[in-house]
Structure 1
Amino acid sequence: MRSFFPFLGLALCLTPAFAARPAPSQSMPLAMRPVFDTLVLPDAANIWRSGSGRPGPAYWQNRADYRIESRIDPDKAVLSGTETITYTNNSPDALDVLWLQLDQNMYRKDSRSWIAYPDWHPASSEGFVIERVTLEEGGKEHPVPFRIDDTRMQVSLPSPLAGSGHGLKLHVTWHHQIPGLWGGRTAVTPVKDGKIYEIAQWYPRMSVYDDLRGWDTLPYLGQEFYLEYGTTDYAVTVPWNFTVVGSGALVNPQDVLSATERARLAEASRSDKRVLIRTPEDVLDPASHLARSGEKTWRFHMENTRDVAFAASPVFVWDAARLDLPALPAAKGQKPQPRLAMSVYPREGAGPQAWDRSTEYVKHAIEYFSSQWYPYPWPNAVNLGGHGAGMEYPGIVFDGWQDKNDMLFWITTHELGHGWFPMIVGSNERRHAFMDEGFNTFIDAYASQHFNHGEYAPKKDAEFAPETGDPAKDIVPVLTAADAPSLMMPSELVPEKYRHKVTYFKGAYGLMLLREKILGPDRFDAAFRAYIRAWAFKHPTPSDFFRFMSSEAGEDLTWFWRGWYFENWWPQYRLDGMTHSAPKPEQGQPASTAAGTGAGNTIAIGVRNEGKLLLPVVLRVTWQDGTKAERVIPTEAWALHDRLSLSFPEHGPVKSVVLDPDQGLPVPDRSAMTLTPPEPAHP
């Protein structure tokens, strides 16, 4: 299967006979020396985060477990709920306050988000109405004071919560209007047969308290998240004719599903092909439901998660197939539940190249990412066909019911890939978006190659190689643009015109360069898998990632981190002449005799570096007789010089000399990277 950047191993090229000879008279300009200088990473190594990039011996992380009871009132489009948060303070600090996130306040017209980004908000609401906040002590609840500032709520504790594993229980009662159409974060989407309720960021959630800055309380402006891990049990009460799918496992199917639906789910758990749980005909048939009046409460359970989301509607066509993954451990006294790939969508989304194939795409994505990088940890994976925002949550993603063909495959795979970044590897995507979108775009580009013999390869969309489909060409305008931000720019400071080009595309392409041009797939894959294992369900920083990959792969990558992540540098090489030489004759042998045989004759190729991103570059020489020789010029070759001379044995007239013959490097100017000597004159 075609790789984006066919890797030429050093073992094929580095032999003593082809050794590079730096030209001693050509010293590197002073301006180039910082390329190799020491890079001071933003976060210092310490007892919590080690110099190897792994969690340190004293690493700690707080925990938030939730029990939530909620209800949708479709007549008023109001979601109400009560929740109990069991919060565990594993830090060494005593906490006198708690901070919670109230993302729904983003929809208020006086919110920071509304004022900063008015174009993002076609729908508005009054945000969260916090009815009551109490602290449970000795089995009794006592009201505690709280204050709300934009999308944050501070709760004052009557006495500090001690660290090192002490905990408390906080109860919050709330309600909020469900906004209309907007980007899929939370929405009510009308379709032909009714409405789809896409419910996310829907309950007050604990802010992260970590070793880097204490409470991380950035206001929510509409992009991404940073959350603690724990177990969530949540219940959703809806009208009798609604179907609900969500993060985690449905734990009371007997209370909400008909016997027919339960039998079909059992069939799906044994099938690699999709099985319709609710058919298009069922959508129009009230008798297809378990009950014909009143309400039903759907209960879900999810472990080791940082969030939960769900979708509810009377219009869902629902299909599922088994996930070919090991069964998860079952609770005591219960049988292991099947693990399913699922899709829900309105009838008008069905079609042979549309949502009929969604579950096939879900199944492939979860199984491929599990085998390639890290096992999927949750019971089910759900693809929702709704408004079409393309948004991810643990165990469920929100996509568009009108998507089809390659776009449906790409968006499904991309959003499900977020299950690994940042749902398993819990980086702070609020601050470092490339660790979320860039890492995920990287893994889903390879998934496009893998699926069905490359049916939708190469990946080409707004997130990857958006112009020509050739990443080496498409990235050049980004690298050379004077106003383009670096990957290390805080997420919410990246202008919208560069959000996909830098955060997604450059973030992904950098990992591809690292995998296929610098380390090679074997070294990269082993190190990247180890990184995921080490930081699964934890909170790594960019500094942790940089240190980990350098240490685990056994390569000083300082020059690459600086050039690709902290700067927008690019490679630029050019050929700088070719000379021929013959060996010196032995004593007593005529010079004409040695030269005439051609034995030991060499050619020397001059190569000059004029860029700051010193990616390994292949030099290929092709002779007229078809003979070829290749040489990888490593990064270290430019440590003290900006010109090299590389020698090759003669094979007669040279046909061509080419730098980067596969054009896999993002070089802006290729005009001097090919040398074609004139053909020898014939008598």
Structure 2
Amino acid sequence: MNPSRAAFLLASALTFTSVGLAQSPASYDPLKTFAPLTLPDPVNSYRSSNGAPGPQYWQNRADYELHATIDTANKVLTGTEVITYTNNSPDTLTSLWLNLEQNTYRQNSRAAAFASSGRHARKTTEFTAGYTLDSVEVQPLGKAAKAQTVVSDTRLQIQLPEALALPHGAKLRVLIHYSYPIPGLFGGRTSWGMAKQGEIYDLAQWYPRLCVYDDLHGWDTQPYLDNEFYLEYGNFDYFVTVPANMIVAGSGELVNATEVLSKPELARIAEARKSDKTVMIRTAEDAAAAVAAKPSGTKTWHFAMENTRDVSFSASATFLWDAARMNIAAGAGHPAHAALAQSVYPVESAGDAAWGRSTEYLKDSVEHFSARWYPYPYPNAINVAGFSSGMEYPAILFDGIDDKGKELFWITAHEIGHTWFPMIMGFNERRNAWMDEGFNTFIDTFESDEFEGGIDGPKRDSEYAPGGGAPADEIVKVLANPAAPIILTRADAIQEKYRHSVTYFKSAFGLTLLREDILGPERFDFAFRRFIRDWAFKHPSPSDFFRAMESEGGEDLSYFWRGWYFNNWQLDLAVTDAQYVDGDPAKGLRVTVANQGQLLLPATLRVEREGGQPIEVKIPVETWMQNTTHTFLVDTTTRVTAVTLDPEHKIPDSDRSNNTFTVPR
């Protein structure tokens, strides 16, 4: 990605005027592309016309106290939770809905019937019993009462009697005692597995979690089919009890460090908080000694995290542990501050070629994302090498034991990037995975370009450009596939073979086009940062994003939203003719360009001159608002050798065979 490209085009030496029209190619209909666009979510007092939260925007809140114990012999987690739920909506609630994602591993789950291949295959071959709910109570005004409950697949409904209905501004406590068998490697996002020296437990979706009640859908209760999450924000106070020789790496701040860590470990953490270089907290020798020791009893690790939508943790006796200080730049009204980057990994992952640099990658990514987009809000960021590889939760990442080199850098940057999307920006991933994965893939490219001068960049050949070519040429393959879903397809309905190319790649490249070719970096960055700042720790919708970028970006972008997000339209610009005025090179050159596709984007026309610098002509989308061809007068007094559309392959032109016209002598 070249941040200066848009500025270069705007500063190009050119003069052009429209001097003629030609017959329209039948494939392009201007009235279709430029028709009025009605966005899915209307403007009202909750969501404003400028894409910001409205004056009466509201969202509910869920605060948690959690207690969990891991039975390593039987591979069972037993837990108790107290949820304090606040109804800030204007409605009176007569029920509460919670997510029970561990039920996805049941043999009769909807997820088991959902798919039998790709990343879902584990659900049709290995199973667990899911959640056992020993008791569910509600507690208004300090008085507990047994609730009427209904379990529906991966959801729990708590039906409130009239006396317990929850009006605007009211709070209700929910007490749940539960347990579930921890899935093995088939668990995917949460699992236990055997490393070289012992077990690693990656625990996610480990407690019943409140569904979101919002102004768009009421209770948003889509079943868990592996397309991630949509959760309320709140404060978390949680306790994890494990065998005494294990360490626990968890979301948030470790509250009782003096109770669970040794004096040498405490001293090393204190050193790491002051160090920009990685400091070992638990060495290979320390881990080996812990594994060899028979655990006598248990330890309880106490963590706290504020203003988050979730917490997760990992536990193992095998972990090495290192850390370094992160320097978070001031921004969005937040002062500069320090946080702690940490990594835990088994001995087989150690070394500078692998996880020995994880904390360095994590630190650099957080610092750059904070400076460019929005300050990192949490006290810690932790990268875990385990068996639930490539998954993100607030302030903690689950990555692979075998990751190393560029792959470890890329996956670390990508997973911690999810702190911004969707941990800070509370997107509905169950419906709009493209906002989560695509936005994050987009910001990844900056980190790959910046880390050590781009030594691990550009990140274009995996998530960003699957075929390894220029992104614009790669995305043409997606646009040309009649079976490919549109970006605005419900996440669960996107088949695995298209999930990556549409949800990650097309979404990310749409932001690149918006930044580099449509708005330019100055306008895009201002609008995008404003969107993040306005919706931090809230629940923006696609319509909010579209309106925010139009309002702050200063453009009517309905043609782009319609072509790129609502459809899989294709772009095909062609140079159909180039002739000197009156046959005299000294009088200038007339260049005729035709639009033969329904998708529109600004384009660049390069005029190559004999013995001189080329002229760059900017072709705006308004060129095609009423016409399908335009003839431009290029102010040149010398001979021209050729005229080329999009010479640097920045936009996804579906047929480049008609992009160059050789000018006869």
Query: What TM-score bracket applies, with the shorter chain setting the length?
Result: over 0.9
Q: How does 1:312-323 map to 2 (within 5 A)?
A: 312-323=315-326
- How far residue 614 of structure 1 moved from its aligned partner, in angstroms, is 1.2
SS in 1 for 2:593: strand
- How far residue 357 of structure 1 moved from its aligned partner, in angstroms, is 0.6
Could you tell me how far apart the structure 2 residues matched to 1:47 and 1:677 are?
Answer: 58
Could you tell me how far apart the structure 1 residues matched to 2:352 and 2:231 are?
Answer: 38
Question: 1:264 aligned to 244, 251, 268, which one?
Answer: 268
Could you tell me how far apart the structure 2 residues matched to 1:125 and 1:461 are?
Answer: 37
Could you tell me how far apart the structure 2 residues matched to 1:82 and 1:490 are?
Answer: 34
1:631 aligns with 2:620: no
Is the CA contact 1:258–1:288 (under 8 Å) kept in the aligned structure 2? no
Uncovered stretches (5+) of structure 2, i.e. residues with no partner: none
- How far residue 415 of structure 1 moved from its aligned partner, in angstroms, is 0.7
Q: How does 1:463-542 map to 2 (within 5 A)?
A: 463-542=463-542
Assess, with a 3 A threshold, how the Cα gap between structure 1 residues 287 and 632 changes in structure 2: closer, same or farther.
closer
SS in 1 for 2:5: coil
Could you tell me how far apart the structure 1 residues matched to 2:649 and 2:7 are?
Answer: 13
Question: 1:222 aligned to 215, 222, 226, which one?
Answer: 226
The equivalent of 1:566 in structure 2 is: 566
Question: What letter is aligned with 1:7?
Answer: A
The equivalent of 2:101 in structure 1 is: 103
- How far residue 57 of structure 1 moved from its aligned partner, in angstroms, is 1.0
Assess, with a 3 A threshold, how the Cα gap between structure 1 residues 292 and 550 changes in structure 2: closer, same or farther.
same
Question: 1:305 aligned to 302, 305, 308, which one?
Answer: 308
The equivalent of 1:275 in structure 2 is: 279
Question: What letter is aligned with 1:93?
Answer: D
- How far residue 32 of structure 1 moved from its aligned partner, in angstroms, is 3.4
Q: How does 1:402-481 map to 2 (within 5 A)?
A: 402-481=402-481
- How far residue 469 of structure 1 moved from its aligned partner, in angstroms, is 3.8
1:344 aligns with 2:344: yes
Could you tell me how far apart the structure 2 residues matched to 1:540 and 1:19 are?
Answer: 42
203-212 or 648-657, which moves further after superposition? 648-657
Assess, with a 3 A threshold, how the Cα gap between structure 1 residues 461 and 176 changes in structure 2: closer, same or farther.
farther
- How far residue 645 of structure 1 moved from its aligned partner, in angstroms, is 0.7
SS in 2 for 1:671: helix
The equivalent of 1:120 in structure 2 is: 122
4+ runs deviating over 4 angstroms? 24-30
Question: 2:298 aligned to 291, 295, 298, which one?
Answer: 295
- How far residue 352 of structure 1 moved from its aligned partner, in angstroms, is 1.6
Question: What letter is aligned with 1:434?
Answer: W
Question: 1:651 aligned to 610, 632, 637, which one?
Answer: 637
Assess, with a 3 A threshold, how the Cα gap between structure 1 residues 536 and 386 changes in structure 2: closer, same or farther.
same
Could you tell me how far apart the structure 2 residues matched to 1:105 and 1:399 are?
Answer: 24
SS in 2 for 1:339: strand
Question: What letter is aligned with 1:567?
Answer: N
- TM-score, normalised to structure 1, is 0.93
Give the fraction of aligned pairs with identical amino acids, expressed as a percent: 50
Is the CA contact 1:385–1:401 (under 8 Å) kept in the aligned structure 2? yes
SS in 2 for 1:276: strand
- How far residue 186 of structure 1 moved from its aligned partner, in angstroms, is 1.3
The equivalent of 1:74 in structure 2 is: 72
Could you tell me how far apart the structure 2 residues matched to 1:26 and 1:313 are?
Answer: 67
- How far residue 165 of structure 1 moved from its aligned partner, in angstroms, is 1.6
Could you tell me how far apart the structure 1 residues matched to 2:195 and 2:580 are?
Answer: 74
1:677 aligns with 2:650: no
* Cα deviation digits, residues 362-404 of structure 1 (max 9, x gap): 0011111100000111110000101153001000010001001
Question: What letter is aligned with 2:263?
Answer: A
Could you tell me how far apart the structure 1 residues matched to 2:184 and 2:325 are?
Answer: 34
Could you tell me how far apart the structure 2 residues matched to 1:400 and 1:6 are?
Answer: 37
Is the CA contact 2:137–2:146 (under 8 Å) kept in the aligned structure 1? yes
Question: 1:52 aligned to 37, 50, 53, which one?
Answer: 50
The equivalent of 2:2 in structure 1 is: 3
Assess, with a 3 A threshold, how the Cα gap between structure 1 residues 400 and 4 changes in structure 2: closer, same or farther.
farther
* Cα deviation digits, residues 245-282 of structure 1 (max 9, x gap): 11000000011000010000001101111111110111
Question: 2:133 aligned to 121, 130, 135, which one?
Answer: 130
Assess, with a 3 A threshold, how the Cα gap between structure 1 residues 563 and 287 changes in structure 2: closer, same or farther.
closer
SS in 2 for 1:668: coil
Could you tell me how far apart the structure 2 residues matched to 1:27 and 1:468 are?
Answer: 33
Is the CA contact 2:579–2:663 (under 8 Å) kept in the aligned structure 1? no
* Cα deviation digits, residues 578-605 of structure 1 (max 9, x gap): 222259xxxxxxxxxxx7xx76x12111
Question: 2:147 aligned to 123, 138, 144, which one?
Answer: 144
SS in 2 for 1:79: strand
SS in 2 for 1:197: strand
Could you tell me how far apart the structure 1 residues matched to 2:291 and 2:383 are?
Answer: 26
Could you tell me how far apart the structure 2 residues matched to 1:669 and 1:30 are?
Answer: 15
* Cα deviation digits, residues 303-347 of structure 1 (max 9, x gap): 01000000000100110001112799xxxxxxx996210111100
Could you tell me how far apart the structure 1 residues matched to 2:28 and 2:180 are?
Answer: 61
Is the CA contact 2:22–2:630 (under 8 Å) kept in the aligned structure 1? no
Could you tell me how far apart the structure 2 residues matched to 1:469 and 1:163 are?
Answer: 56
Question: 1:64 aligned to 39, 59, 62, which one?
Answer: 62
Is the CA contact 2:470–2:649 (under 8 Å) kept in the aligned structure 1? no
Question: 2:594 aligned to 572, 592, 608, which one?
Answer: 608
Could you tell me how far apart the structure 2 residues matched to 1:27 and 1:462 are?
Answer: 36
Could you tell me how far apart the structure 2 residues matched to 1:674 and 1:373 are?
Answer: 39
- How far residue 183 of structure 1 moved from its aligned partner, in angstroms, is 5.2
Is the CA contact 1:327–1:339 (under 8 Å) kept in the aligned structure 2? no
Is the CA contact 1:27–1:641 (under 8 Å) kept in the aligned structure 2? no
Could you tell me how far apart the structure 2 residues matched to 1:142 and 1:602 are?
Answer: 86
**Alignment size in residue pairs:** 655
SS in 2 for 1:435: helix
The equivalent of 1:618 in structure 2 is: 604
SS in 2 for 1:95: coil
Could you tell me how far apart the structure 2 residues matched to 1:30 and 1:462 are?
Answer: 33
- How far residue 4 of structure 1 moved from its aligned partner, in angstroms, is 7.7
* Cα deviation digits, residues 427-451 of structure 1 (max 9, x gap): 1010011110000000011211111
* Cα deviation digits, residues 174-228 of structure 1 (max 9, x gap): 0001000035421001111111000000000001001111111111112210000
Could you tell me how far apart the structure 1 residues matched to 2:590 and 2:551 are?
Answer: 36
Question: What letter is aligned with 2:179?
Answer: H
Could you tell me how far apart the structure 1 residues matched to 2:491 and 2:214 are?
Answer: 19
- TM-score, normalised to structure 2, is 0.95
Assess, with a 3 A threshold, how the Cα gap between structure 1 residues 476 and 326 changes in structure 2: closer, same or farther.
closer
Uncovered stretches (5+) of structure 1, i.e. residues with no partner: 329-335, 584-594
The equivalent of 2:251 in structure 1 is: 247
Is the CA contact 2:255–2:303 (under 8 Å) kept in the aligned structure 1? yes
Is the CA contact 1:657–1:675 (under 8 Å) kept in the aligned structure 2? yes
SS in 1 for 2:455: coil
- How far residue 8 of structure 1 moved from its aligned partner, in angstroms, is 4.8
Is the CA contact 1:317–1:344 (under 8 Å) kept in the aligned structure 2? yes
Is the CA contact 1:184–1:398 (under 8 Å) kept in the aligned structure 2? no
Q: How does 1:591-602 map to 2 (within 5 A)?
A: 601-602=587-588
Question: What letter is aligned with 2:647?
Answer: P
Could you tell me how far apart the structure 1 residues matched to 2:618 and 2:29 are?
Answer: 25
The equivalent of 2:213 in structure 1 is: 209
1:12 aligns with 2:14: no
Could you tell me how far apart the structure 2 residues matched to 1:577 and 1:347 are?
Answer: 66
- How far residue 7 of structure 1 moved from its aligned partner, in angstroms, is 2.2
